[in-house]
Amino acid sequence: MANLPNRRSPHHRGIKRARKVKILATLGPASRDKETIAKLLKAGADAFRVNMSHGDHETHRETIANIRAVEKDLMRPVAVLCDLQGPKLRVGQFEGGKAFIRHGAHFTLDRNPEPGNDERVCLPHPELFGLLEKGQRLLIDDGKLRLVVLRAEPDAILCSAEVGGQISDRKGVNIPDAIVPVPALTEKDRRDLAFAVKEGADWIGLSFVQRPEDVAEARRLMGGHGALMAKIEKPAAVESLNEIIELSDGIMVARGDLGVELNPEEVPPIQKRIIEITRGHGKPVVVATQMLESMITSPSPTRAEVSDVANAVYDGADAVMLSAETAAGQWPVEAVTIMDRIASQVEGDSTYNARVHLAQTPPDATTADALSASCATIADTLPIEGIIVFTGSGGSARRVARERPAAPMLVLTPSQKTARRLALLWGAHTVSTRDIGSFEEMIAKGKRMALRHGFGAGGSRLVTLAGVPFGVPGSTNLLHVVTLTGNELDTPK
């Protein structure tokens, strides 16, 4: 936008991003100390994932405390996502710790606890023996070995090795052709979930979701604390996608197991479909797994990885995630820096706005949705420098973000929990501030906070969205265009 007269330099508070897509970085041995967390935030991270599959509660408690200390110091709300491990099917142990299954050879999975060999091994999951049928696949060690069921009996499953190779103790087993009769929450997960709730996690990542009932059970155990992110990593979950999204607060495209259980060429269109449908529901969607995997050991990514991240940004994902790259890699800060640069470059592309709107997100027939859509239309029509959203629960901000407006969004909320949760929402710069009580106070505070956080200067126009009466959830019914004078910081608070 061209310079306007009487502009004043913005008085920035905290960290303000130029980009709209968010970065979720996993913390681990390489990054969970305060110094590295601060570097990651400054480099571009917006939220942190704590992987409950590794480490103990004391370590995780210290990690979360470090995040909160840095959050306070840098004056920016930060989301903490505690990612539950979920159930993991594994084979038993082998004589000498390993065996070799020849291509085309027969191999048996049985209930005999004795160590396995080149012909058989224990499968310590009795519920599977009455489930599997002839022709179904078993994928072992992330799909490196592929077995096909020839005959399933109560105590033994005879398979043919479609793809053989070396197999070792306790390797994971995926069964893509059936809904596995195990709950999404193990006893460990239940303990981890209770811990995460107690420690004030903003998001809970639910693994191994197969049915809507899995999500409903986790919500019950959360007791209204935190937000629930369902991880789509099973073909069965894709088939029930709409119902799972309805019951969740957000969705993660967990491409690790999804890429194992589906043919590789099926994953990209499914990823796009999940992003589009989740956006249509007005809920944040995260794309995860192997985004910059080569940066675990290399200071720079491959061109294919850069394109992968860029495509997720073009598709309108709310956030992109780093896993081992930041948790255990040699270049955690560099990985975040490069992901930030990729996202910023994509959002600066002249075709970005058109591409991100290829997905249709028609508003629901409600006042709140109609006004949220109007915010985006006004921002696309007029020289608007920001959209100010007053919200208690975050619902109004999610509706505006669903429209992927051209202007950045300043979200003002009296709830610190809401401010942190929205750190994963596309385009939202969230500030926790005192509630408002009148229209005049709303306008004055909106202008003042816009100047304070760098959303324009003297002469800038902004759109304000709120609800009257103030402080009542779900009452979004007011849209107002304001013009900054540049003197709002001189007025009493």
- Nearest of 279, 242, 228 to residue 399 by alpha carbon: 279
Residue 81 · residue 229 · CB < 8 Å? yes
- Nearest of 431, 428, 426, 255 to residue 346 by alpha carbon: 426
Of 34, 90, 111, 341, which residue is the catalytic one?
A: 90
DSSP β-bridge partners for residue 461: 384, 483
CA dist 291 and 381 (Å) reads 35
CA dist 218 and 184 (Å) reads 9
Residue 461 among the catalytic residues: no
Residue 90 among the catalytic residues: yes
CA dist 174 and 487 (Å) reads 62
**Regarding beta strands 106-110 and 476-483, do their DSSP bridges make them parallel or antiparallel, or are they unpaired?**
unpaired
The gap from C-alpha 169 to its chain's centroid, in whole angstroms, comes to: 32
Residue 49 among the catalytic residues: yes
Alpha helices per DSSP H over 161-266: 187-198, 212-222, 235-239, 241-247, 255-261
Alpha helices per DSSP H over 110-247: 187-198, 212-222, 235-239, 241-247
The gap from C-alpha 324 to its chain's centroid, in whole angstroms, comes to: 15
Element (H, E) at 34: helix 34-43
Of 63, 108, 278, 289, which residue is the catalytic one?
A: 289
Of 231, 272, 399, 452, which residue is the catalytic one?
A: 231
Residue 120 among the catalytic residues: no
- Nearest of 396, 407, 403 to residue 450 by alpha carbon: 407
DSSP β-bridge partners for residue 116: 94
Of 20, 49, 234, 399, which residue is the catalytic one?
A: 49
Active site residues: 49, 90, 231, 289
